[in-house]
Amino acid sequence: MRCIGNSTSATWDDPIRCTEQCQKSALFLGTNVQLVPPQDYYLPNTGVSVRCPEGYKPSRDRITCKAEQDKSVWDVTAPILCVAQCAKPTAPGIESVSNQREPNRDYYNRGEEVTVTCAPGYQSVSQIIRCKKTEKNGTRSNWDVSLPCIAFQVNVRRVTPTSISLQWECQPGPCRSYWYMSVSCEAGGQIRGSSQIHTVTEGATVRGLEPHTEYIITISGLRRGKWTELERRTIRTEESAPGKPDFTQYPSINNNTLKWRLSETHGVLTGYQLNISAHREYDITFSETESHWLGPNVTEFNMELRNGTNYTVTLRGFTVSGPGEPAVWAHETSIGEPPEPINKWIGVANQAAFFLLHSVPSQHGPISSYEIIIAQGWNGSLRQLCTSYTSTLYNSSQVPTLYTAMLLPAENVTGSMNVTLGDGRHDGTFYNAPLRSDQNYTLYVRVTSTWKKVTKSSCTRFGPFRRKLKFTQFPINNNNNILRWRLSEIHGVVIGYQLNMVAWKEHTVIEEESQRLPPNVMEHRIPMEPGSSYMVTVRALTAAGPGEASLWLSGTPKATGASDSYVRVSLVLKPLFLTVLILILLCVTVKEKWEQRGAGDENQWIETERGGSEEMAPL
């Protein structure tokens, strides 16, 4: 500066003024507050930075010393303090912390918010937490949620075919101090079952579920008006015994297939057990049972039903939990046509005939009666006889005629019995009229079953009665060696005779002869060689077939010079040899019989109601 003046005075051209500086001591500084730069006095219009130790933030980051006239003052009058910051959250279960402005920091100021991500096994109580002061007008700070991540564990206590029981645990607990809990159960996009929350044990049980079904169990918590999904699990209920199968097709006599389906398996099906029992009310001796184990993919079974039988079918499915509810089908089949009698053979005498009647088994229904029907010139069908014929008394004035000779109750026919036709007896209702020699008869046997107002019959026809011829002259020796015969009765036109002869000598067959004779020839010359024996069979032939054979068996005196010992030996061996010869003759006769059939000859047939036929070859 420069001193200037006039004549009367002098002064400095720029007077220097002293301005009071800002004193550090004029500030209200809290503990640990540092000014940068650190000075005791600061010039006016000087900015000063305020610093605090790590973890603290000054209440003012910068202060200024400003000049006011001839003095300087600070721009702050309030105390300058170091306010504690919130350290980065490190509570258990915190996986990461983020902030929009500065993602990775160790300390956060009051009022700042961070987003917390919890580690697996932990649930967030609050995803966003805020740093705040802990006391009014204090310097301490803390997060508004001290434990943002809670250890949350769910245990499945019990799973049954119809329920799922859960239990949850929080650390630090209990869970109800953080959330209001809720459990939902979903399957196929629909909420299923009903849940009951156990507040004391901290768990829930969901009931009313389907066996062996996957369910999505969701556990949620409500906090501060906001729902949070805490846990989601997929749990399958236990298997149970399967449901009852549904029969979709029942077997019958004509279709023996049983079909079913199983809509409720309740688990992995391991198979089916099928039990079948059969009995007959009219036959206490009949009882059958069978059991089958079928694979899980089998849905049908072939079972052959028989007539007149009560069936009970039981079917149940199996899983590892055991057998399911059984499906039961009970059915009684109607009776069927009885089987025909066996041994369809008939013999003829002078004015009567006879046959052996065998009882038939009650395999299609209980046998009620055997009806012996005689036909005289009647030419109807077996079906007509079985379905339309009404038992009729004998009437001698009716020709052709069809009448009942006998009606035998089934209890009177056990095993087999000899029945005589034409014996002239009355059985109380029907008359077994004598047979006439000038008539051709046919025998029918109708077997009837009756059960529960259902009647079924089967009919069998025996061919026309055939009479055997009679020998009228026997050969004696070489000079008188003619064998003659005649027919006592003829049923049809005789078309010839079949003669078979075997000759033997000293137990050795020396000659066999088989020939067919014309109908007008009724004799044959036998050689009658000395020391030889002969066996001859003759039968008449008609268009209906061969008649019954007549047998002549004779031996001649010993040859000249034969010893007595030879005669004695012959007497001993003759019966045995005769037996052998009869068997040989029998074979020859049967052989001829088959040859006749092969040549187209008409033979005797026995027809049955079921449409088959059976050849009868009487010997």
In a domain, 2, yes or no: no
What's 24's DSSP letter?
G
Report the pLDDT averaged over residues 427-444. 82
Residue 80 pLDDT exceeds 70 = yes
Residue 571 pLDDT exceeds 90 = no
DSSP strand pairing (353-358 vs 416-421): antiparallel
Query: Concatenated DSSP letters for 513-551?
Result: EEEEE-TT--EEE----TTEEEEEEEEEEETTEE---EE
CB atoms within 10 A of CB 451: 20
Strand, coil or helix: 158: strand
Identify whether residues 425 and 490 lie together within a single domain. Answer: no
Domain CATH number, residue 178:
2.60.40.10
Identify whether residues 71 and 90 lie together within a single domain. Answer: no
Residue type, 365: G
CB atoms within 10 A of CB 281: 13
Residue 137 sits at the vertex; the CA angle it makes with 135 and 138, to the nearest 5 degrees, is 55
Residue 594 pLDDT exceeds 60 = no
Q: 462, 496, 512: which is the final residue of a domain?
A: 462
Say what the pLDDT of residue 450 is.
Answer: 92
- Structurally, the chain folds into a number of domains equal to 6
pLDDT band at 303 (very low <50, low <70, confident <90, very high): very high
Residue carrying structure tokens 């187209």: 600
Identify whether residues 189 and 161 lie together within a single domain. Answer: yes
In a domain, 5, yes or no: no
Q: 306, 332, 358: which is the final residue of a domain?
A: 332
Would you state the torsion angle of the CA atoms of residues 378, 519, 613, 373, taken in this order, to the nearest 10 degrees? 30
Identify whether residues 71 and 168 lie together within a single domain. Answer: no
Residue carrying structure tokens 């509570």: 91
Distance of CA 277 to the CA centre of its chain: 17
In a domain, 137, yes or no: yes
Assigned token pair, 392:
């009729």
CB atoms within 10 A of CB 430: 20
Say what the pLDDT of residue 557 is.
Answer: 43
- 26 phi and psi angles, rounded to 5 deg: -75, -10
In a domain, 548, yes or no: yes
Identify whether residues 90 and 138 lie together within a single domain. Answer: yes
In a domain, 107, yes or no: yes
Report the pLDDT averaged over residues 407-415. 90
Identify whether residues 321 and 356 lie together within a single domain. Answer: no
Q: Which pLDDT tens digit goes with each residue over 196-212?
A: 676 667 889 998 898 98
Residue 13 pLDDT exceeds 50 = yes
Residue type, 92: P
Identify whether residues 451 and 528 lie together within a single domain. Answer: no
CB-based burial label for 25 (10 Å; 0-12, 13-18, 19+): exposed
d(CA 142, CA 112): 11
Give the Å distances, CA to CA, from 10 to 4, 15, 16, 18, 523.
5, 12, 15, 21, 208
Lowest mean pLDDT segment, chosen from 140-149, 208-217, 457-466, 510-519 = 457-466
pLDDT band at 583 (very low <50, low <70, confident <90, very high): low
Residue 377 pLDDT exceeds 80 = no
Identify whether residues 482 and 593 lie together within a single domain. Answer: yes
DSSP strand pairing (94-98 vs 113-118): antiparallel
Query: Concatenated DSSP letters for 564-586?
Result: HHHHHHHHHHHHHHHHHHHHHHH
Identify whether residues 599 and 474 lie together within a single domain. Answer: yes
* Three-state SS annotation for 112-150: CEEEEEECCCEEECCCEEEEEECCCCCCCEEECCCCCEE
Identify whether residues 551 and 571 lie together within a single domain. Answer: yes
Report the pLDDT averaged over residues 91-102. 85
Identify whether residues 414 and 443 lie together within a single domain. Answer: yes
Residue 427 pLDDT exceeds 90 = no
Assigned token pair, 36:
């940068």
Say what the pLDDT of residue 266 is.
Answer: 87
* Mean pLDDT value across the chain: 82
Domain CATH number, residue 119:
2.10.70
List of residues 6+ apart from 426 with CB closer than 8 A? 432
d(CA 129, CA 37): 36
Lowest mean pLDDT segment, chosen from 204-218, 233-247, 576-590 = 576-590
Half-sphere exposure of 16 (CA within 13 A, CB side): 4
Strand, coil or helix: 163: coil
Helices (H) and strands (E) in the chain, counts: 2, 50
pLDDT band at 550 (very low <50, low <70, confident <90, very high): confident
CB atoms within 10 A of CB 34: 13
Residue 75 sits at the vertex; the CA angle it makes with 73 and 77, to the nearest 5 degrees, is 90
Beta strands in 208-359 (DSSP E): 214-223, 226-236, 246-249, 257-261, 271-280, 283-294, 300-302, 310-319, 322-323, 327-332, 346-348, 353-358
Assigned token pair, 430:
């029907």
pLDDT band at 564 (very low <50, low <70, confident <90, very high): very low
Bond from prior residue into 366 cis (ω within 30 degrees of 0) = no
Residue 573 pLDDT exceeds 60 = no
In a domain, 3, yes or no: no
In a domain, 434, yes or no: yes
Q: 310, 332, 354: which is the final residue of a domain?
A: 332
Lowest mean pLDDT segment, chosen from 3-12, 187-196, 437-446 = 187-196
Domain CATH number, residue 351:
2.60.40
Tell which residue, 303, 332, 342, 153, has the closest CA to residue 233: 153
Identify whether residues 136 and 171 lie together within a single domain. Answer: no
Q: Which pLDDT tens digit goes with each residue over 478-507?
A: 788 899 988 765 556 788 899 999 888 877
Residue 565 pLDDT exceeds 50 = no
Higher per-residue confidence, 205 vs 557:
205
Domain span at residue 39 reads 19-83
In a domain, 316, yes or no: yes
